[in-house]
Each structure stands twice: as C-alpha cells, then as structure tokens.
A and B are shown apart, each in its own frame.
Chain A
Amino acid sequence: MSRAAARWAAALGALASHWRRRPLQAAAALLGLALATALWSGVQALNGEAKRAYAEAAAVLEGDRIDRLEPVAEGRLDVATYAALRRAGLAVSPVIEGSLGVGGRRLRLVGVEPLTLPRSALGEALQADGPDIAAFTGPPWAMLASAETLDRLGIAPGSRGRADDGRALPPAVAADRLAPDLLLTDIGAAAALLGPGLTALLIDPEAPASPVPWQEIAGDRLVLVPAAGESGLDGLTGSFHLNLTAFGFLAFAVGLLITHAAVGLAFEQRLGLIRTLRACGVSAREVAGLLLAELALGAALAGALGLVGGWLVAGLLMPGVSATLSGLFGAPVSGGLSLAPGWWVQGLAMSLAGAAIAAGHTLARAYALPPLASARRQDWAASGRRTRRLEAALGLAALAAGAAVWGFGSGLVAGFALMAAMMLAAVLLLPALLAWLLARAARLARGPVAEWAVADSRQQIPGLSLALMALLLALAANIGVGTMVESFRTTFVDWLERRLVADIYVSPARAEQEAPLGAWLAARPETAELLGLRRTEIRLGAERLELMGRPAAPAYREGWPLLEAAPGAWDRLAEGTGLLVSEQLSRRMGLGLGDAVVLPAPGGAWPVAVVGIYADYGNPRGEATVGLAAMEARWPGARFDGYGVRLVPGTDTGPVMAAIEAAFGLGPDELVDNAGVRRFSLRVFERTFAVTAMLNLFTLGVAGVALFASLLTLSDLRLASLAPVWAAGVPRRRLAALELGKTLALALLTAVLAIPLGLGLAWLLVAVINVEAFGWRLPLHLFPGQWLWLIGLTAVTALAAAALPMLRLARLPAARLAKIFAEER
C-alpha cells in the first residue's frame, strides 16, 4: 500500500468512526436518502409502467399515430367503399374494432388485415410474437392477447376459448407486448365475432400519395381523423403523471432534507477531527475527497435500499394507479410491474445526485476550512439569524417569480410553476415566520422557565428548520390534496344525487326486450315516470363523443345538474333545437351557451344550439345530450340504453324490482336500484383516489421521520443548552417535559402555517391542474375538521418523534449531564 493510500485509509477510518459512535445519526442520513430514492423511483416505476402500457395500446391501432378514416355517423363502413378506395390507389387498410364479452369481462377486440396493414401500425406484438401469416389469416385464425389477459380469462395458449354468447374464439397465442384486455385477430375472425362492416381504414403513411383524393370517392361518408403525433393516452394522462411526479419530487425533497440535516450535523461534530487531520498533514483536497468517497459509499448503499423500497412502493401502488387510470381516463394499464434496467440505473443516479445536493455545501466548507480554524461548532443562533434573513429574502423572491410566471403564462406549466414557487417560498419563509411568532409569544411568557422555553425554542429553529420545512411541505400537500379530494367528494355526492333521477335502472342486454319492458313498466301503478335512454357515438370535428337521448321529463327538469343553462333549455331540447354538452366537451371544443353545433345525423346535418352545460364527473370521454324523441327521429339506429323508472313517492323499490326480475328474467347487471348505482359509483371514486391518499400518507410519514431524525441527532447538542438550566435547579423530568412541549409547539405552529399554504395548493389543484387534467372545475369547499385531524396527527407525530430523545434526557445519568460542564463545547 502506498503512503498516500495508507494515509487515506487511516483518515477515512477516523472519519468513519464518527458514524460507528453515532449509529442513529448514520441511520438517519441513510434513511433520508433511501426514503427519497424509494418514493422517487417508486413513482418513476409507476409512470414508466403506465407509459409502457399506453405505448402497447397505441401500438395496436387505437393510438392516434396513423391517420385514419372513420364513418361520419354511427355504424359500419361497407366493404364496397373500402374496395373502391383501394381500386383508386389509396393505401388504406381495414380494421374492425369492438367490444366482446369473454369470461364475464368486456374486452377490446381488434381485427386487422395483415397484408395491407401499414408497417408502422403493425406494432411490436405482431412483429415479434405473431404467428405465421397463414395461420393468422385463415380459419381457424389466431387470437393474440397478453399472457396476463389469457391467464385472467382462463384460456391456455393454443386452446380456443368461448365468448360469453357461446361462440368459439380463434386459438389463443400469448403476445406479451399487447395491452391488457385487448384481443388482436384477423379481420375475418373479427367480422365473424363482431358482425360485418368495417369500423375504420388506416392510411399507410409510407405509401405514395394517391392520385385521387379519398373525398371524391367517399367524402360524404368518411371523416379523416388525423394522427395526434403521440399516443392519445399519453396526452390525456399527462397531467395525472405530472401530479405523480410532483408528489415523487416532493417526497424526494423531504427525504433530502433529512440527509442534509444529518450530514450537516455530522460535519459540525467532526470539525475538531477535521482540524486534527489537517494538522496531521492531510490536505484540504484529501479531506474533501475522503468525505466525498464516504458520501458516495453511503449514497450507493442508501440508493440500493431505496430502490428496493421503490420497487415495494410501486408494487403496492400499482393496482391503485391502474384503477385510477382506467377509472378516470379509460386507459388500459395492468396491475403488474416490470422494471427496466434503466430504472435501476436512474434510481442509483438520483440517490448519488441527491447525496451531492444534500452534502454539497458541507463538502465545500470542508474544502475551504483553514487548518487552524476553531473547532468550535458553528453558532446555531448567530448563523440562524443571518440564514433566516437570507432565506426570507429568497422566499419572497421565489414568490415574486411564481407570481410573474402565473401572470405571463397559463395552463398546466404555469400552474405547476406557481405551485413550486409557493412551496419554495413557504419553506424558505418558515424559519423567519416561526421566529417572529415566538418573539410575539415571548412577550406573553410569564416566569423564568416559560421565558427560557420560548427563547430556547427560537434558538432551536435553525437546528430543526429542515425537519419543520419537511413537515410544512407534507402537511400542506395533505391539506391541498385532501381539500381537493374532499371538495370533489362533496361535489360528486351531490352531483350523483341529482344525476340519479330514477329509483330503478333497467338495462336489458337483449334489445328485443325493450318494447315489452317499456309497455310493462308504463302500465305498472307504481311507475310515476318512465325515462327511456338512447345513445350513439358520433364525431364532431376530430372529437369522438357519446350522444345521449334523454326525455325532457320533470325528473330531469327538476334536478339534472346543469352548470349553466339558457332559458327554456329543456323545452328546446324537447323541440329538437337544443343540445346539452358535458363540461369536458365544452372546454375541449370551446363550446358555450348559444353556440351553434351541426350534428352529423344519418339523415343529414342537424343544426342545434348549445342550451346547457352539465357536470359529467369521471367520464373520460366527451358527452352531449339531445331530446329523446328528436334522437329517435334522427337516429333510428341509436342504441337503446335502458329505462330509468321513477316510482310513485312512498313505493318500496324491492317488490317492484322483484316483479321486473320475475317478469323478464333479468340478471343483477341488468337491474339495479338507485342506491346500488350510487354505491358502485362511490366505490369507483374511493378507489380512484386511493393512490393519492397513500402517497399523501407516505409523504407525511417521511416528514415524521425527518422530525424524528433531526430531534435524535440534535439531542446530544441540546444537552449543552439544557445542562445550565438543570444545574440551576430545574429537574430532568421537568426539562424533558419542557423539551417535549417545545417540540410540540414548533410542530403545531408549523401545522397552523401549513393551512393557508395547503389551501393555496388546493385552489391551484381545483382551478388550474384539475381543469387541465380532467376538463372539469370543482367548487372549493373548506374542511376544518380535516385540518383539526391533521393538527392532531402532527401532534402525535411530533410527540412520537420527540419521545425517544426526551426519554433519553429524562433517564440520562446525572454524570453525563454534569460532564457537559467539563467538555469543550
């Protein structure tokens, strides 16, 4: 071993001995970084998995990556039109797409014609896992699905499953790159299962332009749906992923605060050692290098732990994320998790970068430390006042920058920028605010112990500020997201109440039951109103939406949740001149009251005017409503969607439902009462926000750990402040109780300050982020009960975090405290 290596080894051993003597401090530093890495990489894994799923879904035709021609009105495109286009030299490929019931589930069945299918639309599934072309295109054909989907359906590869109506499916082939709940087969097989007629024609982007424009051949029947450039789901769910990323980043920042506090404190404690090393001939560069090496080792260890944690977090949250994405956006994401090698590398890199951020300042100080510098620790109080002023100035600057971005920008990016600026400003202003509040409290303190306690709390702020900042961020995020979710819940419950106008909903699966069921229900004495419902799918411009037919009945007129309405809206709906649009559709298409819309009815264009905008929470697609009678007249083929039955007041639903069931043999999916629908909807709602709630809890947990780690690592330093008070005659138990009270007071003050910040976040979420993400804006409700609960939780967290150091203080041998008087401070 060279002399230099021996010197380094000896110096590193001396530096590392600090951690051996203070295992809890070492644990805090590692835990902070590991938690930061875990939550960040966990969220990245979730995002990566979802994006992979979107890519898979998009790779099989649904994605808008290729221009396609679709029928103007509902219905199928005939093969003759396709043949005419091909004959004219247009490189189009037919697709049949629809929903198929298999094993009690609704799956998406896509039929393609592989010979004309554009290469770019072929997707990895067909290229990599596909069977040979002859087996795919000829009877009995082949049906590709992911192994997970096949497993769920109980169909073994090579075997033939059956659709719910009993028809045999083509032999199954497992293709792992396919999205969940998707079946891919030849167009011939799809026609056999879904019926004849095409649903779309894909335009080969690589083929030379046709001499004859498609409009000349089928301009009246087809509409061009241009490629979106990226997966539609990518765009639609972008805000959701941005939300997740923001949460991950928040947790990462909170974790780094823990590490920063632990590493900074270790540096303060090792100043004497560093001075000795320098005096013994270890250069500043070498000391800094050794500290860097120590940091890199720690970061690698914490990163590895964090990645394992991230994998666990992602595994825990994936089913919830999958539920949210399918619930809110209709995005097919499986609940499984497969992590790419890049994820591990990125996680470790984040851990190393995080360690560098958390300890960079400390390393710079070690490098610049003069060899004969006093080993006296940095004075917390003096540096605290200076730092507080600087932090407050930076906080105000961040607030100004956020306001500027908000003033000049708009949309999601400006919203997130303002949110980041608000949070940054709040954490930077927190120490100054707490110091100011405690200065006011000092005036109210009576008695020497109370005065000392308040003054000492002020002096503790610099040491605890990082943990308190972490707590502030976590609490504000909780209040913000909690207020948003609770506002949504309140609005949603009210909306559901008003939207579910009928007492019983009957949706027979067999269309032939419509007429007899309607006649039977209308004749029942218990029936007060019979509300028929029809639906069809139409395209307005590039927007595909559901058009509903609803009767302008009293049930709707009384309570239907219209956000805006023109005078006589329901009358105009009944006349066939009015249109109601959902809030999402109105935002997406920029439609307001009075705007003219031309609906592409099969019998010809139908001009109507927007007479109302209604809330349609939870529906990923745009929706519009016309009068039922007008729809039946204009869309004879519109699908019957069931009856809503309003009963005579006072009628029990049970016997009526039993009578319907007995008369028509309907199953539980076909017949449901108001309470059942409500129960189901609320269950979907709860499931949708389960992920947010869990991430919220994680962030609060990390903040609790931050507080615990800070108090624990500071507890040794605190002895120097407590010993003179103890020597002056304040018993240890009372001192411990005072310490507990002070920690509690600081945490509670932080919690109170988190309320306005959290409400600011809630406003941003409701007024900006949500509108961009989902297309609807909610009224903001305040929930003081939730704040009280969080304040209580903060008290419990602070007490739990302070309990161990305080227990140590209360049980500290008197000799240890007395020793303080002989130690160099």
Chain B
Amino acid sequence: MLEVREIAKAYAGPQGPVPVLSGVSLALGAGESLALMGESGSGKSTLMHILAGLEPADAGHVRLGGAEITVASDAARAALRRDRIGLVFQQFNLIPSLTVAGNLAFQARLAGRHDPDWQAMLAERLGLAGLLERMPEALSGGQQQRVAIGRALAVRPELLLADEPTGNLDPETGDRVLDLALELVAETGAAFLMVTHSERLGARLGRRLTLAEGRVA
C-alpha cells in the first residue's frame, strides 16, 4: 500500500541547508495503522507532508499503491490527494465558507465519489447529524475535528494521514475522536498513519515508529 524509501529533506537556513529528514523508510499495508512519534522538530510533520504530496522530498521515493508520489507533478499529486488520501490536521483546516455538510462532501465530490448514504452514516457516527447546516466558526474544537475526520473519510481513502489530530482538544474529547477515527478506518480498510507526541495515544495504534533528528530511531 504505502512504501517509503530513503526519504531526505532539508530546509534552507542562514548557514546553509538544515537537514530535517535523512534516509527515512517505512511501509504500511491496507488496514494497518502506524503512530509516527518523536520530539518537536524531529521531522514528523514534514514526513507527513511529503507522504501527502504537500511538499516534495529532496531524495527518496514514496509509492502509494504503485503510484510514485515524489516524482509526480503538482497536478498529479493533487489528484492523488483528491482520490486516494484523506488528511486531518491539528488546526482542523476546514473550509470556512462551506457548511458542515459542504465540508464533509467537498473532497468526495471533487473525487467524483460522493455517496450521500455513506456521508449520512459518517455524520451520524461522528455526532454531526444535527450540525450539518452550521458554519465551521460556530463549532467547538472537538466538533471541528470530527468534521475534518469525516471529510477525510468521506472519500473512502486508501490512506488516512493525521497530523496531531487531537493536539488541540482536551484529553477526553481527543480520546473520543480517536476512537471514532480508528473504528471508521477499520471499517473502510484504509491504512492509517497518525503523527502524535502522545505515548498513550500512540500505543492505541497497531505499530509505532519514532523519529529522532530526522532519522528512524
């Protein structure tokens, strides 16, 4: 499903390039879940952005179901994200101009796979059924994150990537949101990679991979 080989990435610094990732490799099969852990600045988010095709890698390969992400054009990477990847961020990043229903349906409609029944089921399971006509600004943090998860899963992705999805939520709400995500991922058979600081949350996923100074520890 997801195959990552020798990924390297550096950012430009005042004294020359600053390496962020060096020789990172991993593999994740359908239905598997992986917690990507490490201290702040260890390169977790950068790796997730590369996996999602949001940022290019300097070296290495990322393959998703046979498609090479690292060498794909901007448009091809956008198409991959649209059709095969679900993304959840710490800051929710909902589309502020669309209602909850609009946000839930957005990516699935872009991918041409909008399934109203599936969306209604997701909304029900995520506790959003009564909030469908609200705008994102009128939701609590927990509600917004549930919308973000629903939006990512509405497309029935092959790979769900989540960057600290509970980082902005209190522990109780965070646990509930993660429970829901794991349940739904299991039902869809997607591969799930979650970036987290939390040992407790990381322990709930199938495997763990820790990064330290840009390398697999």
User: Which A residues are CB-close (under 8 A) to B110?
Assistant: 448-449, 728-730
Write out the residue numbers on chain B whose beta carbons fall within 8 Å of the beta carbon of A455: 97-98, 102
Contact with A along B124-164 (1 / 0, CB 8 A): 00000000000101000000000000010000000000010
B87 within 8 A of A: yes
Q: How far is the CB of A450 from chain B (nearest CB, A)?
A: 10
Which A373-402 residues have C-beta < 8 A from chain B?
Answer: 379, 381-382
Is there a chain B Cβ closer than 8 Å to A779's Cβ? no
Evaluate contact between B78 and A731: CB separation under 8 angstroms: yes
Q: How far is the CB of B160 from chain A (nearest CB, A)?
A: 13
- Shortest B22–chain A CB gap in Å is 18
Chain A interface size band reads 35 or more
Q: B91: CB under 8 A from chain A?
A: yes
- Residues of A contacting B91 in the complex (Cβ-Cβ under 8 angstroms): 820-825
Q: A822–B49 Cα gap in the complex (Å)? A: 11
Taking a contact as CB atoms under 8 Å apart, the answer to whether B75 and A731 are in contact is yes
Q: Would A814 and B95 be within 8 Å (CB), given that A381-B135, A821-B89 are in contact?
A: no
Shortest beta-carbon distance from B141 to chain A in Å? 12
Bound together, the chains give a CA A822 to CA B135 distance in angstroms of: 22
B67-85 interface code vs A (CB 8 A; 1 in, 0 out): 0000000110011111100
- For A452, the chain B residues whose CB sits under 8 A away are 95, 97-98, 102, 106
Flag A728-747 by CB within 8 Å of B: 1 or 0 each: 11111100000000000000
List A717-775 residues whose CB lies under 8 Å from chain B. Answer: 720-721, 723-733
A-B contact count (CB 8 A): 100
Assess whether B27 is interfacial by the CB under 8 Å rule.
no
Q: Mark A785-823, 1 if CB is under 8 A from B, else 0.
A: 000000000000000000000000000001101101111
- Encoded as 1 (CB less than 8 Å from any B CB) or 0, chain A from 694 to 737 comes to 00000000000000000000000000110111111111110000
Please indicate the chain A residues that have their CB under 8 angstroms from the CB of B137 in the complex: 379, 381-382
A458 at the binding interface (Cβ < 8 Å): yes
List residues of B (42-75) whose CB comes within 8 Å of A's CBs: 45, 49, 52, 54-56, 74-75
With a CB–CB cut-off of 8 A, which chain A residues contact B52? 727
B49 lies within 8 A of A724 (CB): no
B95 touching A721, Cβ below 8 Å = yes
Per the bound structure, the CA–CA distance linking A48 and B151 in Å amounts to 65
A731 and B97: CB pair below 8 A?
no
Q: Flag if A724 contacts B45 (CB, 8 Å).
A: no
Neighbouring A residues of B208 by C-beta, 8 Å: none
Is the pair A727, B111 in contact by a Cβ cutoff of 8 Å?
no
Please name the residue on chain B nearest to A455 by beta carbon.
B97
Among B93, B106, B107, which residue has its beta carbon within 8 angstroms of that of A723?
Answer: B93
- B79: chain A residues at CB < 8 Å are 729
- Please tell me if B197 contacts chain A, counting CB pairs below 8 Å: no
Residues of B within 8 A of A815 (CB): 11, 49, 55
Q: Which of A449, A451, A818, A825 has the most CB of B within 10 A?
A: A818
Select from chain A the residue with minimum beta-carbon distance to B79.
A729
* Given A455-B97, A725-B95, also A822-B90 (CB < 8 A): yes
A459 to B109: give the CA distance in the assembly, Å. 21
A285 to chain B, nearest CB (A): 32
Separation in Å of the B197 CB from the closest CB of chain A?
13
11 of the cross-chain contacts (CB-CB < 8 Å) are A448-B105, A727-B87, A727-B93, A729-B79, A729-B107, A731-B75, A731-B78, A732-B78, A821-B49, A821-B93, A822-B163
Other than the given A720-B93, A815-B49, 14 more pairs (CB < 8 A) read A458-B97, A727-B81, A727-B89, A728-B82, A728-B87, A728-B107, A729-B81, A729-B82, A730-B78, A731-B75, A818-B54, A821-B90, A822-B90, A823-B91
Q: Which A residues form the contact surface with B (CB < 8 A)?
A: 379, 381-382, 447-449, 451-452, 455-456, 458-459, 720-721, 723-733, 814-815, 817-818, 820-825
